[in-house]
Structure 1
Amino acid sequence: MNLKNIHIAYFIGIGGIGMSALARWFNHNNVVVKGYDKTSTKLTAQLITEGMEIHFEDDISLLPEELNTFNHNALVVYTPAIPEDHRELNFLKNLGYEPKKRSEVLGIITENKFTVAVAGTHGKTTTSSMIAHLLKVAALNCSAFLGGITVNYKSNLLLNENTDEENIVVVEADEYDRSFLTLHPDIAVITSADADHLDIYDNKANMFDSFKAFIGKIANDGRLFINESIADNLLEDVRTNVSIDRYAYNGNHTFANNIRILDGDFVFDFSCPDGQIKDLRLQFPGYHNLENAIAAISVARYLGVDEAHIRNGIETYAGVNRRFEYIVKNDKFVFIDDYAHHPTEITAFIQSVKAIFPGKKLTVIFQPHLYSRTRDFAEDFAESLSLADEVFLMDIYPAREEPIEGVTADLIFDGLAVKSKARCNKKDVLDKIKAVDLEVLATIGAGDIDQLIDPLKQLLKVDYDVE
């Protein structure tokens, strides 16, 4: 497919974080962009202000006129989260269109560009955005397709003014639905490979096989940066011509040492076999984010970024929305929002919060994401959430799934071992939170729990000096 011949791009599920980045790329390249999503959000509102036409009903009559007959200069892009019986999608298929997954189009865009692809069941959004920031600080010519809205750039798409002259493209490589196998990385990073998406993979072994296939997609003489904790499992029986670097925040090859917390920031030394960078300061907290920084620094050094630019880039990196995002931080009260939706992520997040605010009571509001994930990891969720002092557990956010008989948030709730716990939903959570004393509050989850942030700020405004 020659993307230069595309005059209109239609996105089914345009409000997704990855889909919207792709939509923005086409819009930037003077392609007419239109789309559908089932829900109006702040992100879809922003896309509309950028000139994209979006509707929110699955209605064939709302399709762009340009698509009502087969159009060779049109591209239809869809997200795998769209149900099979979606009317618009099936109508367009019947007209002769061959809708492309987001990952397929991303593969086409990056096929002839030097590509840094960041994969992993968690950590990929932070790591990819951090790599892009380090390259931007060093004035290297790069673009980035990200899975979150960066605080530094207020976007999930970073571009040079002339995309035809991009030397490097940084992409987030999504393992869901094996999407990352459409990419052609020159450099790959694998941050983690915990069991997840078992609705797709059935078991962890199948998921590992997919990551091994991703390693096989790396260009000959390319480079792989892999978390030390998963390297042996993923590299077993894998034949590759790429160079391999192992990293971990407390590892044996490339790692962080002399770690300390100063005023909520993580200060550390970066160490690798051929050098060291002392006293780096990361204002984006969390031990898991420190590990992501080790990977990002490793990639930047490999691409020629010098110590001064790395130091500046790490210190000025402000993070990604909903990744350890401080909503309120004062002497009286702290409110943090985080996207964590897997037990491993929740454990890393809570441990980091406890380290930064020792002795403070941590109250967590958690919204489980997907029936299948709740079913598969209920015991692990209960264990990770029990690291908090107080837990308010919301109903499951279904996303793309239909209910599964017998699967509710009670599977997690019954296993919670905390001083205080309560079940709640979006209608009563505010009343329940109002009735407790708060020191550190965290909202956690990948669903629509972020819609509670503004109401919570208003609720707590007087009692906790919330601005």
Structure 2
Amino acid sequence: MKQFPYVFFLGIGGIGMSALARWFQANGHHVSGYDKTETPLTQALAAEGIAVHYADAVENIPAEVLENRAQCLVVLTPAIPADSVEWEWLRTQGYDIRKRSQVLGVLTQGRYTIAVAGTHGKTTTSSMVAHLLHHAGLDVGAFLGGIAVNLGSNLLLPATSEAPIVVEADEYDRSFLTLFPDVAIVTSTDADHLDIYGDQSALIESFCQFVGQIKPGGALLLNHTADPRVAAAAPVGTRIIRYGLTAEQGPELFAANVSAEGHQFHFDLRSPQETVTDLELAVPGYHNVENMLAAAAVAQIQGVGPEQLRAAVAAYRGVRRRFEFVVTTRKNVYLDDYAHHPREIEAFLRSVRALYPGKRLRVIFQPHLFTRTRDFAEGFSKSLSIADEVFLLDIYPAREKPLPGITSAVLLANITAPIKAIVTKQQALDAARTDEHFDVLATVGAGDIDTLVPQLKLILTERWK
């Protein structure tokens, strides 16, 4: 990458893209980029000295990019639409254009790589791995798909070129096939991204190919729910450790003596490497205990001892927008979560119910993608029905064009919650300001629903003081 002093990002505001942008900036490259929407993340990039523009026009591309074609790398996110004006112009001018996944593959080439894959859970689990190693004093780098609270960033820069790199391995568009990990975690292989894969079988085939790229003598940590074909695809000699929350699920790696006290979970780690007792996790949710099992086992593989592990687990504070407590009072709570798949929503809402039994729960949900809404409509309606009240925003399209007949109304029809409605963002804010019938509020989704969070925080902090 040293041959490219200039790097231009198409879709720089994406969480994975912004981590790469920060890496190039930290390593002395001139970084700039385009995104269609200004967000707190793009504002942060701008504050760090990265030029970002928001109108898709060639005249907005920085002069240094226009004047140094041969020395400029263009990094592309799959979310950029095919009719992008800037992408088309850069392509016709002969710029070196590479997908984000290809660049990540180059940056990790020759490095000890810990890759975390899965249709859900990979952001939290990869942030846990990076945190545990970093907290234990190991030199480690990380490219994450979320803002880790402990790091305050989605990027952890290593001190040396020999340090291992933790990477969130994204299955969308088969991006993770550019990675050749020493250690791989597969958190789940549930159906998703059927707009790319067509059916779950093709998705499983892609996971098998990813696992088949584990380096000789490497390790695979596999969730007990994963398709058995994935384990069978691991190269001969790969150490395979299956993990799950309880021993009854049949894994070699599991939690024992699990108990919940408020927002904290206490448990013992039963691992093929070593049993570690009295672990304390401050991030709620049984699914997060399961995620921590895999992360802790990787830390053990890297030589982290029991006392270091206890201290690191206790210090972990999660990822922004993953079970994030925005407002907490004695009687009321407002949480925000990135869940955008029925299984994720179910896990999140059941955990909220367990934490606050008997409390009236309102959920504001923004569906993400027309194809995902179409493919999992029944599952979305069922999982959202766990709440007492469900307010649906319009579908966030991201990279997609509308599909005939696919709107939030498809979900509303089969939701069984006593109160349900399709609302605008302003109506959701007005209801939070004037309606006092709910005790717990949760905003859920992967689109731009997070733009409501600061406004809801102000409203509810004032109401609940």
Root-mean-square deviation (CA), in Å? 1.3
Task: Calculate the TM-score normalised by the size of structure 1.
Answer: 0.96
Match of 1:361 in 2: 360
Separation in 2 of the partners of 1:73 and 1:196?
38
Cα distance in 2 for residues equivalent to 1:261 and 1:360: 18
The residue type paired with residue 329 of structure 1 is T
- 2:242 aligned with 1:246, yes or no? yes
Q: Distance in 1 between matches of 2:162 and 2:146?
A: 21
Counterpart amino acid of residue 176 in structure 1: Y
How many correspondences in the alignment? 461
Query: Structure 1, residues 44-85: CA drift from partner, whole Å, max 9, x if none?
Result: 111111111111111111112233356322111010110111
Q: Which amino acid aligns with 1:19?
A: M
Tell me the alpha carbon deviations over residues 120-173 of structure 1, each in whole angstroms, 9 at most, x when there is no partner. 01111110010001101111111000000111111000113x4x4342000000
Partner of 1:396: 395
C-alpha contact (below 8 Å) 1:143/1:166 kept by paired residues: no
**Partners of 1:443 and 1:233 in 2: CA distance:** 36
Q: Offset of 1:419 from its aligned partner?
A: 1.9
Report the 3-state secondary structure (helix = DSSP H, G, I; strand = E; otherwise coil) of the residue aligned with 1:347: helix
Residue 34 of structure 1 corresponds to which residue in structure 2? 32
TM-superposition CA deviations, 1:351-384 (whole Å, max 9, x none): 1111111221211111100111000111100111
**Partner residue of 1:375?**
374
* Residue equivalent to 2:331: 332
Moved more, 239-248 or 38-47: 239-248
In structure 1, what is the Cα distance between the partners aligned to 2:377 and 2:456?
A: 27
Q: Secondary structure at the match of 1:194?
A: coil
DSSP 3-state at the match of 1:260: strand
Matched-pair identity in %: 50
Equivalent residue letter for 2:105: G
Instruction: Tell me, yes or no, if the aligned pair for 1:69 and 1:95 is still in contact at 8 Å.
Output: no
Partner of 1:23: helix, strand, or coil? helix
Letter in 2 for 1:405: P
Partner of 1:455: 455
Q: CA deviation at 1:420?
A: 1.6
Residue 236 of structure 1 deviates from its aligned partner by 4.2
Secondary structure of the corresponding residue to residue 328 of structure 1:
strand
Q: Deviations over 1:370-420 (max 9, x none)?
A: 111000111100111111122111111111111000000111110011122
Mapping 1:62-73, distance limit 5 Å = 62-68=60-66, 71-73=69-71
Three-state SS of the structure 1 residue aligned to 2:429 is: helix
Distance, in Å, in 1 between the alignment partners of 2:442 and 2:59 is 43
Residue 317 (1) aligns with residue 316 (2): yes
- Out of 54, 59, 63, the position equivalent to 1:61 is 59
Task: Give the letter aligned to residue 142 of structure 2.
Answer: A
Q: Which residue of 2 aligns with 1:130?
A: 128
Alignment CA distance shift 1:438-1:38 (3 Å): same
Aligned-residue offset at 1:239? 5.0
Distance 1:408 1:184 in 2: 39
TM-score using structure 2 length: 0.97
Q: Which amino acid aligns with 1:74?
A: C
Alignment of 1:277-356 (within 5 A): 277-356=276-355
1:464 aligns to 2:464 (yes or no): yes
C-alpha contact 2:216 2:235 (8 A) present in aligned 1 = no
Structure 2 CA distance, aligned partners of 1:311 and 1:116?
A: 21
Runs of 4+ in 1 over 3 A off after TM superposition: 236-241
Please give the alpha-carbon distance, in whole angstroms, between the structure 2 residues aligned to 1:315 and 1:118: 21
Partner of 1:195: 191
Which stretch shows the higher mean deviation, 415-424 or 104-113? 415-424
